[in-house]
């Protein structure tokens, strides 16, 4: 298994990220522990969560995913085997939002407490905050890095223009630079990343860990029509993919699956890994069996013809 560096840092990761958004949502603590144990025991080490996970669930307040991870660290003793990523900035309640210095310094302490750890390996701005000066946000991160509470920083849900501005500001003001980008990117959702963000990634040498790598389950082939998705917990998310392009993509995935014997989810992730600017795709699992399908992408080497077939089918 090839090991990759995070951005320009010395942090080394296996090329797959386990998404923690399902912990405390569709996956309870016991099943989360089993998935996490299997993930690390298979030699993988990169886990991504956020303070806001899973606030959208009725009765939740946010922090549920971090809390389950913290319980697992305490129970398993495997914190030192994990590269831990979390995020800050999305609304957590009244007055708890954004990337101001004051809020970041408060939010990181809450995350560290829930995670039962003294450090976050990759701390990410979950979304852009145009009301706060970039210098203020990066200055807060500089303080956390100096204190040893954060190792490196990243950005998610930024436009190419704003990401470039953040990188240029950091270099000009000698502040910490974003080393990782977490964009939405998959076989169906390509245009924004490839036209706006990828040029910035290449210019500044950022690592990239895309979310919605499986398009909320659409690329797994589980749903063939909008009707198939009715009643599913992700129905609202999956529905937007059922267009003409979506049909072409599913057909191409099915054809490559027949050639390789691999699952469609495995193939969709392997296509991402074949893209030169991608460090590791993020995907979540709700069972150990599902996890194995995802991890298989790291060993699956698509042929040039297969990569081209998928790329052409998903052309925009």
**Among the listed ranges 179-183, 216-220, 227-231, which one has the minimum average pLDDT value?**
227-231
**Res. 237 pLDDT band, cuts 50 70 90:** confident
Q: pLDDT at residue 225 above 70?
A: no
Would you state the pLDDT for residue 227?
63
As a whole number, mean pLDDT of residues 203-207 equals 98
As a whole number, mean pLDDT of residues 213-223 equals 92
Would you state the pLDDT for residue 18?
98
- Which CATH number goes with the domain that contains 173? 3.20.20.100
In a domain, 175, yes or no: yes
Average pLDDT, the chain: 96
Would you state the pLDDT for residue 108?
98
Would you state the pLDDT for residue 85?
99
In a domain, 125, yes or no: yes
pLDDT in tens, 35-69: 999 999 999 999 999 999 999 999 999 999 999 99
In a domain, 316, yes or no: no
In a domain, 23, yes or no: yes
pLDDT in tens, 80-93: 999 999 999 999 99
In a domain, 120, yes or no: yes
**Res. 222 pLDDT band, cuts 50 70 90:** confident
DSSP states of the chain as a string? ---EESTTSS-EE-S-EEE-TTBTTTB-HHHHHHHHHHHHHTT--EEE--TTTTTTSTT--S-HHHHHHHHHHHHH--GGG-EEEEEE-S--STT--S--HHHHHHHHHHHHHHHT-S-EEEEEE-S--TTS-HHHHHHHHHHHHHTTSEEEEEEES--HHHHHHHHHHHHHHT-PPEEEEE-B-SSSS-HHIIIIIHHHHHHHT-EE--BSTTGGGGGGTS-SSTGGGTT-TTHHHHGGG-SHHHHHHHHHHHHHHHHH---HHHHHHHHHHTSTT-S--EE--SSHHHHHHHHGGGT----HHHHHHHHHHT--
Contact between 121 and 144 (Cβ < 8 Å): no
The CA-CA-CA angle for residues 134, 126, 7, to 5°, reads: 80
Name the token pair of 3: 């090991």
Containing structural domain, residue 95: 4-182
**Res. 22 pLDDT band, cuts 50 70 90:** very high
pLDDT in tens, 289-300: 999 999 999 999
Domain tally, the chain: 1
In a domain, 21, yes or no: yes
Residues that are catalytic:
53
In a domain, 12, yes or no: yes
In a domain, 102, yes or no: yes
């Amino acid at each position: 298994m090839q090991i990759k560096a995070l951005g320009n840092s010395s942090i080394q990761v296996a090329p797959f990220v386990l998404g923690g958004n399902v912990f405390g949502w569709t996956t309870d603590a016991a099943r989360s522990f089993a998935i996490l144990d299997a993930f690390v025991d298979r030699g993988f080490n990169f886990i991504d969560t956020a303070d806001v996970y899973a606030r959208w669930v009725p009765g939740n307040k946010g922090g549920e995913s971090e809390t389950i991870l913290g319980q697992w660290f305490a129970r398993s003793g495997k914190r030192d085997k994990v590269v831990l990523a979390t995020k800050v900035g999305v609304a957590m309640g009244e007055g708890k939002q954004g990337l101001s210095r004051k809020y970041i310094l408060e939010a990181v302490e809450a995350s560290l407490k829930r995670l039962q750890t003294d450090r976050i390996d990759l701390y990410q701005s979950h979304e852009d905050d145009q009301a706060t000066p970039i210098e203020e946000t990066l200055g807060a991160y500089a303080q956390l890095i100096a204190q040893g509470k954060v190792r490196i920083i990243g950005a998610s849900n930024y436009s190419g223009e704003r990401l470039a501005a953040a990188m240029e500001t950091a270099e000009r003001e000698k502040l910490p630079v974003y080393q990782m980008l977490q964009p939405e990117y998959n076989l169906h959702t390509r245009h924004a990343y490839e036209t706006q963000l990828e040029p910035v990634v290449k210019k500044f040498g950022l690592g990239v860990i895309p979310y919605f790598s499986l398009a909320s389950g659409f690329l797994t082939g589980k749903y063939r029509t909008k009707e198939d998705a009715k009643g599913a917990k992700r129905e609202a998310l999956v529905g937007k993919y059922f267009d003409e392009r979506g049909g072409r993509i599913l057909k191409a995935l099915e054809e490559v699956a027949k050639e390789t014997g691999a699952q469609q989810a495995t193939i969709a992730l392997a296509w991402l890994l074949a893209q030169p600017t991608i460090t590791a795709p993020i995907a979540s699992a709700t069972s150990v069996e599902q996890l194995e399908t995802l991890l298989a992408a790291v060993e699956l080497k698509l042929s040039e013809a297969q990569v081209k077939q998928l790329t052409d089918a998903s052309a925009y």
